[in-house]
Structures are given as structure tokens and as C-alpha cells.
Amino acid sequence: MEKLKQFASLKVLCYVLAPILFLILMLSGIYLSFQNENTYDMSVNDYYQTTNFADNYYGRIRSIYYSISSMYAEIPFQVSDTSYSLIQNGEEEIYYQSPDYYSGFYQYFRFIIVDRQSQIIFTNIKTDNYEQEIENIKQGKYYWYYETENIQTDIEKIDEYNIRYDYGLVQLEQLKQLGLDFYIDFDEEQVEVGNSFYLEKTLYDTMMGVKEVPMYAIPITSVLLILIVIYLIWSIGHKKGVEGIYLNSLDKISYELVCIIAFFLFVIVVVVANAVTSGSLNIVFLSLSLISYLVAYTILATLATTTIKRLKAKTLFKELWIAKIYRWIKRNMENLIFSNTSIMSKVAIVYVGIIFISFLIVLFFHDGFWIILLPVFWGFSFYKIAQYMKQIKTIEQALKDIYEGKEEVVIDSQNLDKEFKQIATYVNDIAKGFSSAVEKSLKSERMKTELITNVSHDIKTPLTSIINYVDLLKKEEMPSEKAKEYLEVLDNKSQRLKRLTEDLVEASKASSGNIKLNMEILDVKELIKQVSGEFEDKFEEKHLELNTYMPKEDCLIKADSRYLYRVLENLYGNIVKYALESSRVYIDVFLVEGKVQIQMKNISKEKLNISAEELKQRFVRGEASRNTEGSGLGLSIAESLTNLQGGRFEIYLDGDLFKVIIEFERQKKEH
């Protein structure tokens, strides 16, 4: 398709074919309309026997009659028609009208009207013998006369008029009452070349010589012409080897100047073409007419081409003088009125401007068609407001995307107004910084996870050997009690290091989400009973009194049983390690607003001088000493695993009171 756009030879062919097809279409249309016109009888070969000629002829009869009958409007008789001049010929009164008084078709008629009673003559013929001229008219080729109340004519169509039209009979009756004899004929020999009648007759004769135009000529020509126009509009501006729209020197000249030059050239062509039509219909006439047509086509095609190219390149409206003036006024008005102005002040100024312009339109255009300017202006104002709101919506959507954590949020500020471009720049910078920070954070998190996993794996191998050798040494007889004591310490520390390594890997997987969950419906009450039973002996060792509350209703949640058990195990282990001995521990289950909530409360044996958020961080414990068996990862692991399963994990500290809340959405029991 791109190659078809750039096919120069095809474009030239279309430019050549377009005027030819249009000329064929125009001539075919003229012929068909000429053929279908009722006043042109294509069944006869003589123009003088057509209805069109009869129409013109009979119209001349009527116009002469009306000019004469108006003179008899007053008694005594007065000549009121200034087109007639009195010529005294002996005792005869002759009222003469110059043949040049009428132009075009009518100027080639000769007439004589005789008042039988007064012998007054009305005529456009200068002669000394009117009786002879009357005989000449009677014997002429195209005559019509009314004499002694009888009509004679050799034009068949006019006879039909006398019978067909009532007003014709009325005129005959009036001629009879006035006592007038009317003689008229058409002087074909006086017809001049270039006269409208000559051109009309020539056109008729030409059309009679043309063979019948096929009925499919017009639709086929129309379709081809439309396809050519569509292709040219589509391909104009595309050139082989050039990206985008190609603009030549003409396309870079001011558009208004191009239009003015095209207008004057077109006017010159029209004037020349009009002068050409005053000549005879010969080869010179046809040649000059064709040249005028081609020149006019070239002017219009050039103007249309440069207009389309400018529209495609989006330079037309930017380079218009009126657009430049508008932008200059707008820029200066903005600098004068809107610079350092608050948004509310700008809105107020625009609002007052709309009211003021509406008032001016009503004041100056309250009558007539131009009142439509008011709804047009309101529509334009609404469109501009809608455009502003659309831009605000674009910025709002971008901020929403950033808020939701979406990456690569970019606002295209090219189509934004000046007021929003700076805001768009700020938003794009924030989005870019946010994306960069997220990318760095993810990269850092991945590196940490990989580091922890790799280091833990590297530690595990020698640690396993150490533990195995410690087990072997424990089976051997130690040389002294001191050696046994050292071996016991080594065993404890190696086991603690093993648990720390395992917790470290688990914490890394939980925080990065690198865990495959098997979500299922669980009964929280049963799970609490199971964990409590397993820690019963450890609670007794620490003299901890366990108090449990559970509702009668079902407490079902959706979670992974293995990892939720790990969460509870961590929290129970945390109580055993850090709760004050001989104190009470509360494990409660509540139903709160469609959620299942697990609460664990105990009194810490050490003073809690740390915040809840800090306590959930890795390697942080509630006591300063690092000699306890805890790794500092239990709460962090518990929180990460809870969040991964869609739950909520919160820690609350009140003095020495340590409280944990785990919350999940309550599920309905399946039947």
C-alpha cells in the first residue's frame, strides 16, 4: 500500500484522466438533459420546427402585442411607449421601433401592425412601401400574421399554441376589438455569428449529429472519476524515498497568497473563455474553449493539491495569516491578563468573556439569520470546556495509575494546553522517578533474595557436616567434663545456626512472594486447638496459663494450612520465649464485620522499649540481649506469610502488653 501511494506514474495518469473523464461526464449530462428537455424535440431535424423555437417566437408575438395594446389604454390615443418614435410619411402615421431595441434572439424578428380604422402603422422596418413589406412577410419562410380575423403561419407549433392556450384566444379577441392586423416573421438571413440564437441552433444541430450516448456511460465515468479523486486525495504528498508528507516550494508559500493568485488566474480564464464564446462555433472556438478548460483545471488541481498536502502535514491552519493573528492576540492577551493569575481568577475572566460576547451577538445580530451565531458560540464554548475537562481527566488518570503502582505512566503533553503542559511535565517526572525507584527496589530485593539463598545454601553444607561430627563426638567418650561442656555448647550453637539459616531462607521466600500456595477452606477453631495442644507442655514448663475464647459459630477462612500453621507456630513460639513466666496468655477468636480475627495477648518478661513496626523488622527482638535462642525473624516471617495468603497482620504494644491480631475474610460453609 505504501508503494502505491508513492507511484508517481500512476498519479500523473490520474491527473491526466481526471479532466477527460469530467469532460465526458459533463457532455454526456448535457446531451441527456438536452434530449430529455420537453422544449427540444429530438424527433425532428429542423430546429425551427421545435417547441423551443415556437416558445421564443410566440413570446416575441406577445411582447410586441403588449407594447402596442398599452398605447390604446387612454382615449384620445397617446403614444406612451418611449421605444417608438413617430415618422410622418405623408398622411400616414408610422411609429417606428429600432430592431436594436431587443437583443439576442428577439432582434431578428420583423413586424408590421396596422390599425385598420386610423391606418396607423407600428413597425420595426424602415421602408417606403409597407404594403409590399406585408406581402414579403406573408411569403417569408417563418411567418405568422393575423388579418381580417384569421391566423396564417407556416410554423406548426404556433398553431398548436393558438388552440392550446386560453390567453392566445383572449389576445385574438383583443386584436379583433382593437381592429388591428398583425404581421411578423423571422429573418434568418440577418442572424449574426455568436448571437445566443445562433449558438442555441448550433448546439441543437450538433446534438442531432451525435449518436445516442450509452446509458452506462455516465455511471461508469462517474465511478472511475470518484476512484481517481479518492486515490489522488489518499496519495497526494507521498513521494518515494521521503518520510512523511513531502512539501515542495509552492506548498511553503503563504496559502492566502496562493489562493489570491489562483483566483485572479481563474478570473482571467473565465473572461477569455467568455470572449471566445462570442465567435463562431469552429475549430478555433473549440480549441480555445478546450485550452481555457485545461488551464482552469490546472489552476484548480494545483490549488486542491497544495491544500490537501498542507492539511496532511498539519501546516495549513498553522500558517494562515488569520491563525497567526489569532495566536498573537491570544498570546499577548494571556500574558497581559492571565500571567500570575490564580486559576479561579482565570475561570472568572473566561466566564465574564463568554457572557460579554453573548451580549454583543444578541445586541448586533438579534434579527435575521445571524442570530444563529449565539448557539454556535455557545457550542464552541462548550467544546473548549469539554477539551479542558478531557485534559484534566487525562492527568487525573495518570495520577491514579501512579497511585495504583502502574509502571511507565507517561502523559503526552503535545496536545495539552499551556496551563496543563507544566503539570504534565511534573507528573511525568514523578512517574519516571517512581518507576525508577520501584525498579531499583525490585532489583535490590532480588539481589538480597539471591544472596540470602546462595549464602544459606553455602552455609548449610559445612553446617550439616559440623552437626554430624558433633553427633559422632557425643557418642565418643570425652577425656574430661570440660570437653563434654564444650561439646554441648558446640551442639547448641550449631543447632541454633541451622534454625537461623532455615528461618533466613523462609523469610526471604515469604517477603519476595516466592512461595506456592495451596488455598483451601480452613476451620480456625480446629487449627488453634491443634497448635495449642502441641505447645501445652512448653506452656507448662514456663508456668503460663492459656486462656482461649472461641465463638459458637463456624470460623471458616481461605488460606494455606501449612503456612498458616507456620504463622501460628511462630507466634506460639514467640510467647514461650518472651512471655513473663507464671503469667496468663490469651488466645481469642472473634467474628468482626464479616471477618475472622485471631487475637494473641501476653505480658513480656522484658521491658518493650521498641515500636511495633520496628519489632516486625528482620533480626529485631524485643530484648537487648542476643543470647536467647530466637533468630529475630519469627514475626517478620509471620507477617509476610499472612499477607501472602490475603490476611492482615498487626502488632500492638501497650507497656509490657504484647498483642497480635491476625485477620482473614470469613468464608461461608459449603453444603
Which positions ≥6 away from 643 have C-beta within 8 Å? 649
Q: What is the pLDDT of residue 586?
A: 95
**pLDDT tens digits for 1-12?**
666 766 778 888
Q: Which of 91-105, 231-245, 403-417, 540-554 has the highest mean pLDDT?
A: 540-554
Q: Which residues pair with 559 in a beta bridge?
A: 520
**pLDDT tens digits for 261-317?**
888 888 888 777 666 655 455 566 667 777 888 888 888 888 888 888 888 888 877
CA distance 512 to 640: 9
Which positions ≥6 away from 645 have C-beta within 8 Å? 517, 519, 559, 560, 563, 564, 664
CA distance 59 to 53: 10
CA distance 81 to 71: 7
What's the mean per-residue pLDDT of the chain?
A: 77
Q: Which residue has the cell 501497650?
A: 654
**DSSP state string for 65-121:** HHHHHGGGSSSS-----TT-EEEEETTEEEEE--GGGS-GGGGGEEEEEEETTT--E
Element (H, E) at 565: helix 561-578
Q: What is the pLDDT of residue 662?
A: 92
Helix (H, G, I), strand (E, B) or coil at 654: strand
Confidence of residue 61 (pLDDT cuts 50, 70, 90): confident
Look at 26-40, 52-66, 290-304, 620-634 and tell me which has the smallest mean pLDDT: 620-634
CA distance 508 to 83: 117
Look at 72-86, 205-219, 363-377, 645-659 and tell me which has the smallest mean pLDDT: 72-86
**Residue 77: pLDDT over 50:** no
Q: What is the pLDDT of residue 343?
A: 62
Helix (H, G, I), strand (E, B) or coil at 275: helix
Look at 150-159, 211-220, 273-282, 507-516 and tell me which has the smallest mean pLDDT: 273-282
**DSSP state string for 125-146:** ---S-HHHHHHHHHTSSSEEEE
Q: How far is CA 231 from CA 226, 237, 254, 349, 658, in A?
A: 9, 12, 26, 48, 81
Query: Nearest Cα to 503, choosing from 604, 375, 633?
Result: 633
Q: What is the pLDDT of residue 620?
A: 47
Q: What is the pLDDT of residue 659?
A: 92
Q: Which residue has the cell 485572479?
A: 264
**pLDDT tens digits for 327-363?**
777 666 656 555 555 666 667 777 787 788 777 777 7
Mean pLDDT of 231-242: 82
CA distance 664 to 647: 5
Instruction: Look at 588 and 234; give whichever has higher pLDDT.
Output: 588
Q: Which residue has the cell 507442655?
A: 537
Q: What is the pLDDT of residue 627?
A: 45
Q: What is the pLDDT of residue 73?
A: 60
CA distance 332 to 326: 10
Instruction: Look at 210 and 78; give whichever has higher pLDDT.
Output: 210
Which positions ≥6 away from 512 have C-beta within 8 Å? 445, 446, 449
Confidence of residue 27 (pLDDT cuts 50, 70, 90): confident
Q: Which residues of 491-523 are buried (b: 16+ CB within 10 A; e: fewer)?
A: beebeebbebbebbbbbbbbbbeebeeeeeebe
**Residue 184: pLDDT over 80:** yes
Q: Are 668 and 556 in contact (CB under 8 A)?
A: yes
CA distance 184 to 141: 11
Q: What is the pTM of this model?
A: 0.40
Look at 158-162, 303-307, 409-413 and tell me which has the smallest mean pLDDT: 158-162
CA distance 664 to 559: 9
Mean pLDDT of 123-147: 87
Which positions ≥6 away from 504 have C-beta within 8 Å? 452, 456, 631, 633
Cα 202 to the chain's mean position, in Å?
53
Mean pLDDT of 472-486: 78
**Residue 570: pLDDT over 80:** yes
Instruction: Look at 100 and 219; give whichever has higher pLDDT.
Output: 219
3-state DSSP of 291-318: HHHHHHHHHHHHHHHHHHHHHHCCCHHH
Confidence of residue 544 (pLDDT cuts 50, 70, 90): very high
Q: Are 663 and 600 in contact (CB under 8 A)?
A: no
**pLDDT tens digits for 373-385?**
777 778 888 887 8
CA distance 23 to 11: 19
For 105, other C-beta atoms within 10 Å of its C-beta total 20
**pLDDT tens digits for 423-460?**
788 777 777 777 677 677 667 666 666 666 666 666 66
Rounded to a whole number of angstroms, the distance between the first and last alpha carbons of the chain is: 63
Which positions ≥6 away from 631 have C-beta within 8 Å? 496, 499, 500, 503, 504, 619
Confidence of residue 195 (pLDDT cuts 50, 70, 90): low
Q: In what order do the strands lie in the sheet with 545-549?
A: 545-549, 584-592, 595-603, 657-665, 648-654
Q: Which residue has the cell 458560540?
A: 377
Instruction: Give CA angle at 39 (35, 44), nearest 5°.
Output: 65
Look at 142-146, 442-446, 481-485, 623-627 and tell me which has the smallest mean pLDDT: 623-627
Cis peptide before 76 (omega within 30 of 0): yes
